[in-house]
Amino acid sequence: MNDVFAQLVGQPEAVATLRAASRAAAAVLRGEAVGAGAMTHAWLFTGPPGSGRSVAARAFAAALQCTEVRKGPFLSDSVVEGSPLNDEAGPGCGVCTGCHTALAGTHPDVRFVVPDGLSIPVAQMRDLVLRSATTPANGRWQVLLIEDADRLTEAAGNALLKAVEEPPDRTIFLLCAPSDHPDDISVTIRSRCRVVPLRQPGAEAVSTLLVERDGVDPATAAWVAAAAQGHVGRARRLAGDREARDRRAAVLAVPRQLTGVGACFDAAAALIEAAEAEAAASVAATDAAERAALETALGAGGTGKGSAGAARGIAGQLKDLEKRQKSRATRAQRDALDRALLDLAGFYRDVLNARWGGAVAPVHADTAPLAEAAAQRWTAESTLRRLEAVLTCRTAIDANVKPRIAVEAMMLELWQG
């Protein structure tokens, strides 16, 4: 049976919670009484990168908009997932118009906030909150889904808080953040949300998904699932994109390239340039399409009366667009660099594992011989210092230290051990 929650890998507890809540929401629409706390107007999905925060939120949004809800009494949270009663009753069929359009991002009552740049501005949040308070077009729910709520500016967070404190009857807020720590989401917003914690899915679960859903051969699926460290999206890219595998191989070659100070700076420059190139390629098509659409909408190229005034208006609009696109490119560069740093951290973790004779499988099976050789040369303490240097670099970049400075400092520490 098709199911909107089928893409949520390795999260049985979260799936059970969301199934129960979607059944409660359907019961509310039918005018039935539901238990206290079964359904609420604000949800916070937390978990590490790759755990499926946005996947869970989108699946829940689809279940809320499902038009093929089975008739029958509301089932409580105590129903065990997988039982016949549970399978018969859950909304979220995955094939109806409500599910399909919600998952595709075209449902009129599901509004997505996916930040292009480093933060979500207050103007965007005010506009979306205002629109989400309108009456649902299909008579079900208005859903506002914020994929990176940790990027809300203080003012944007305050605008959202006011809406969450006084929500319209048919509006549901779905927020995604790395954790419920105050550094990621304000305490006042978090206190008004029901938290759904997600965990990093295991490599086995990711591998199974790639084989069954994407047709990846089992050996490749097992390798990329381990290399992606439980990140489903990254595993899919590695399985299907040769350039992504080449970039990963270049990153994992860094430790043996650090032979001196000059080599450290060269490696840092290469890593930054690779991240910039990857980011530029990922946003190029979107940037071009946005520019063309804006120029067409504003009548670019016109020669009739008033074309000079239109041209001046176009220049200002294009400047604003270029500013937004620059911010998006910066975020894409940092995301690409962070993926590279995670690969490096995985290598040093493999060295530690080999040094101490751990029983766990290596993250990077294809570089296991190199990790074992490094374990013979490096002490456990120096390897741990190298791993800490990578993690410190990630923290510094997240705190807006210039990436080149942070990466150069990391490379020197990796060389010195």
CB of 93 within 8 A of CB of 3? yes
CA distances from 267 to 250, 271, 339, 415 (A): 10, 6, 16, 11
> What does the pLDDT look like over 96-140, one tens digit per residue?
889 989 999 899 999 998 887 778 889 889 988 888 888 888 778
* Range with lowest mean pLDDT among 147-161, 259-273, 300-314: 300-314
More confident residue, 193 or 311: 193
Q: How far apart are CA 136 and CA 328, in angstroms?
A: 31
pLDDT of residue 417 exceeding 50: yes
Q: How far apart are CA 351 and CA 375, in angstroms?
A: 5
> What does the pLDDT look like over 312-321, one tens digit per residue?
567 777 777 7
More confident residue, 191 or 306: 191
pLDDT of residue 181 exceeding 90: no
pLDDT of residue 77 exceeding 80: no
Q: How confident is the model at residue 93 (pLDDT cuts 50, 70, 90)?
A: confident
CB of 172 within 8 A of CB of 62? no
Q: How far apart are CA 345 and CA 135, in angstroms?
A: 48
Percentage of the chain exceeding pLDDT 90: 38
* Range with lowest mean pLDDT among 57-61, 177-181, 198-202, 356-360: 356-360
Residue 368 amino acid letter: A
Q: What does the mean pLDDT of the chain come to?
A: 84
Q: How far apart are CA 149 and CA 157, in angstroms?
A: 8
pLDDT at 84: 34
Q: How confident is the model at residue 1 (pLDDT cuts 50, 70, 90)?
A: very low
Give residue for tokens 């059970």. Answer: 16
pLDDT of residue 81 exceeding 60: no
pLDDT of residue 73 exceeding 60: no
Full-model pTM:
0.74
86 phi/psi in degrees, rounded to 5: -65, -45
More confident residue, 340 or 91: 340
pLDDT at 76: 37
What is the arrangement of strands in the sheet containing 194-197, beginning at the earlier edge strand? 110-113, 142-146, 171-177, 42-46, 194-197
pLDDT at 305: 55
> What does the pLDDT look like over 253-276, one tens digit per residue?
999 999 999 999 999 999 999 888
CATH code, 4-197: 3.40.50.300
Query: Which token pair is 304?
Result: 């009739």
Q: How far apart are CA 101 and CA 124, in angstroms?
A: 23
How far from chain centre, in Å, is Cα 172?
Answer: 20
Q: How far apart are CA 110 and CA 172, in angstroms?
A: 10
Average of per-residue pLDDT across 245-250: 90
Q: How far apart are CA 28 and CA 55, in angstroms?
A: 24
More confident residue, 28 or 87: 28
* Range with lowest mean pLDDT among 23-27, 76-80, 313-317, 338-342: 76-80
pLDDT at 110: 92
Ranges in the chain annotated CATH 3.40.50.300: 4-197
**Closest Cα to residue 116, out of 278, 286, 281, 288?**
286
* Range with lowest mean pLDDT among 2-16, 51-65, 259-273: 2-16
pLDDT of residue 208 exceeding 50: yes
**Closest Cα to residue 181, out of 164, 159, 170, 197?**
197
pLDDT of residue 88 exceeding 80: no
Query: Which token pair is 335?
Result: 């995301």
| Nearby residues of 228 by Cβ (< 8 Å), 6 or more positions away | 50, 206, 234, 235, 238
175 phi/psi in degrees, rounded to 5: -110, 145
| Nearby residues of 114 by Cβ (< 8 Å), 6 or more positions away | 147, 148
Q: How far apart are CA 370 and CA 284, in angstroms?
A: 36
